Amino acid sequence: MITVQRVDDGGALSFEVVVREGKGETRHSVTMSEVKCQQLTGGKHTPERCIEAAFRFLLDREPKESILARFDISVISRYFPEFEQELPRYLAQF
What's the rounded mean pLDDT across residues 52-62?
97
pLDDT at residue 2 greater than cutoff 70 = yes
CB-based contact 32:54 (threshold 8 Å): no
What's the rounded mean pLDDT across residues 19-38?
94
* Global pTM value: 0.93
In sequence order, what DSSP letters do the residues of the chain get, joined into one string? -EEEEEE--SSSEEEEEEEEETTEEEEEEEEE-HHHHHHHHTTSS-HHHHHHHHHHHHHTTS-GGGS-SEEEGGGHHHH-TTHHHHHHHHHHT-
**Predicted local confidence at residue 41, as pLDDT:** 95
**Predicted local confidence at residue 94, as pLDDT:** 64
What's the rounded mean pLDDT across residues 15-27?
94
For the beta carbon of residue 74, count every other beta carbon within 10 angstroms: 15
Q: How confident is the model at residue 47 (pLDDT cuts 50, 70, 90)?
A: very high
pLDDT at residue 23 greater than cutoff 80 = yes
pLDDT at residue 30 greater than cutoff 70 = yes
